[in-house]
Chains A and B, each alone.
Chain A
Amino acid sequence: DAKTTQPNSMESNEEEPVHLPCNHSTISGTDYIHWYRQLPSQGPEYVIHGLTSNVNNRMASLAIAEDRKSSTLILHRATLRDAAVYYCIPIGGGSNYKLTFGKGTLLTVNP
Chain B
Amino acid sequence: EPEVTQTPSHQVTQMGQEVILRCVPISNHLYFYWYRQILGQKVEFLVSFYNNEISEKSEIFDDQFSVERPDGSNFTLKIRSTKLEDSAMYFCASSRTGYSTDTQYFGPGTRLTVL
A-side residues, CB < 8 A to B, are 31-32, 34, 38, 42-46, 49, 87, 91-103
B43 close to A (CB within 8 Å): yes
Contacting pair B100 A46 (CB below 8 A): no
Q: Known contacts A32-B101, A92-B100; is A98 also within 8 Å of B109 by CB?
A: no
* Measured CA separation A98–B99 after assembly (Å): 10
Q: Could you say which of B4, B98, B106 contacts A96, with CB atoms under 8 Å apart?
A: B98
Nearest-CB residue, chain B, relative to A91: B100
Structural contact, B42 and A46, CB atoms closer than 8 A: no
B65 within 8 A of A: no
For the complex, give the distance between the alpha carbons of A34 and B101 in Å: 9
* Partner-binding segment picked from B12-20, B44-52, B71-79, B80-88: B44-52
Closest to A47 in B: B103
Cβ-defined contact, A95 with B98, below 8 A: yes
**CB atoms of B91 and A96 under 8 A apart:** no
- Is the Cβ of B56 less than 8 Å from the Cβ of A98? yes
Q: Which of the residues B31, B45, B98, B101 comes within 8 Å of A49, measured between beta carbons? A: B101
Contact: A43 with B100, CB < 8 Å?
no
A-B pairs with lowest CB-CB distance, top 3: A43-B106, A101-B43, A95-B98
**Inter-chain contact A43/B101, CB cutoff 8 Å:** no
**Contact assessment for A46 and B98 in the assembled complex, using a CB-CB cutoff below 8 Å:** no
Cβ A44 vs Cβ B98 within 8 A: no
Inter-chain contacts of B91 with A (CB < 8 A) = 43-44
A94 to B100, alpha carbons, bound, how many Å?
6
Q: Are B42 and A32 in contact (CB under 8 A)?
A: no
How far in angstroms is the closest Cβ of chain A from B6?
8
**A103-B42 CB under 8 A given contacts A32-B101, A95-B99, A96-B55:** yes
Q: Which residue of A lies closest to B3 (CB)?
A: A43
Alpha-carbon separation in the docked complex, A9 to B109 (Å): 24
Least CB separation from B57: chain A residue: A98
Q: With A44-B91, A102-B42 known to touch, is A97 a contact of B98 (CB < 8 Å)?
A: yes
- A35 → B minimal CB distance (Å): 11
A98 contacts B45, C-beta separation under 8 Å = yes
